[in-house]
Amino acid sequence: MLYEKLNERKKELGLTTEQLSKLSGVPLGTINKILSGETRSPRYDTLRALESVLFGDGGSGDQPEGIGEATVPYLTRRQGEYTVEDYRKLPEDVRAELIDGVLTFMEAPTFTHQELITELLFEIKMFIRENKGPCRVLPAPLDVQLDCDDRTMVQPDIALICRSERITRKGIYGAPDFCIEVVSDSSRKRDYGIKMQKYMNAGVREYWIVDRKREKIMCYWFEGEDAPEITMYTFRDRVPVRIYDGRLEIDFPGIMERLWEE
């Protein structure tokens, strides 16, 4: 059925209903009625605007007045064909990543997700400052043109970059030295799968997956003959940062004591 097809595609892209409304120009209430099956025969111009976002066909002819007026310029391709140029045309308040030509839209992060990122960022930043190191560490949103091509742009939750020649006004051009992803339900498969491979192949030296739900930290070390070396820790451990030869340890028990309890 129509609403099942639209729901399936929306889930595949990782779009929230609010993001779909912003991208298509269709009112939120109208979309909710269509996706719930309450509206079985939506207007043609409404359906065309939604399909333009979800399936990227863009339609033909003039765009209906007031519906999806801004959709066609930046969502006119099939998944796997999108470029950095398309990515940069997305509205500023729509969070997305581009990986090998595939656009994936991201949900707004939770309070705990952001607080955990802040705690990790603070410990790394203080270590750099105290040791007068050359590296810089930044949280998302930060554009990382990982492969130096026009088909991939990622947003690591935390990126540490030590090679200043890779820093640009718009973000990072090339691989950071160290990336951290704090897992959310919508990003779990991507963080453990394709992003791990992309980071390793691009030249990231170290990658952590911090999984709050499972209270585990998967640490990947991509240098050396046996790469990737994988070490698993829990939130009861102090976890060493290998790019600093273990001189920096992240105090996860201390962080857990400070986190807001959901």
Q: 195-220, pLDDT tens digit by residue?
A: 999 999 999 999 999 999 999 999 99
- Residues 82, 116 within the same domain: no
Q: Residue 70 has what pLDDT?
A: 40
Q: Residue 256 has what pLDDT?
A: 95
- Residues 127, 215 within the same domain: yes
- Residues 28, 151 within the same domain: no
- Residues 49, 161 within the same domain: no
Q: Residue 64 has what pLDDT?
A: 35
- Residues 177, 73 within the same domain: no
Q: Is the pLDDT of residue 76 over 80?
A: no
Portion of the chain with pLDDT greater than 90, in percent: 63
Question: What pLDDT band is residue 44 in, cutting at 50, 70 and 90?
Answer: confident
**Cβ atoms within 10 Å of 98's Cβ, excluding its own:** 24
Mean pLDDT for the stretch of residues 150-175: 97
More confident residue, 182 or 103: 182
More confident residue, 149 or 43: 149
Query: Based on the structure, what is the number of domains in the chain?
Result: 2
Q: Is the pLDDT of residue 61 over 70?
A: no
Mean pLDDT for the stretch of residues 89-101: 90
Range of the domain at 170: 111-258
- Residues 115, 70 within the same domain: no
One-letter-per-residue 3-state SS of 48-109? HHHHHHHHCCCCCCCCCCCCCCCHHHHCCCCCCCCCHHHHHCCCCCCCEEEECCEEEECCCC
CB 157 within 8 A of CB 180: yes
- Residues 163, 248 within the same domain: yes
- Residues 91, 153 within the same domain: no
Integer Cα distance of 69 and 245 in angstroms: 53
Q: Is the pLDDT of residue 234 over 80?
A: yes
Q: Is the pLDDT of residue 142 over 90?
A: yes
Question: Is 116 inside a domain boundary?
Answer: yes
Task: Give me the chain's average pLDDT, please.
Answer: 88
Mean pLDDT for the stretch of residues 183-194: 92
Question: Is 101 inside a domain boundary?
Answer: no
Q: Residue 119 has what pLDDT?
A: 98
Output the domain CATH number for residue 214: 3.90.1570.10
What is the longest distance spanned by two Cα atoms in the chain? 64
CB 172 within 8 A of CB 145: yes
- Residues 58, 161 within the same domain: no
Lowest mean pLDDT among 43-52, 176-185, 207-216, 228-237: 43-52
Q: Residue 1 has what pLDDT?
A: 63
Question: Is 106 inside a domain boundary?
Answer: no
- Residues 130, 247 within the same domain: yes
- Residues 87, 124 within the same domain: no
More confident residue, 95 or 198: 198
Question: Is 232 inside a domain boundary?
Answer: yes
CB 208 within 8 A of CB 181: yes
- Residues 184, 68 within the same domain: no
- Non-local (6+) Cβ contacts of 225 within 8 A are none
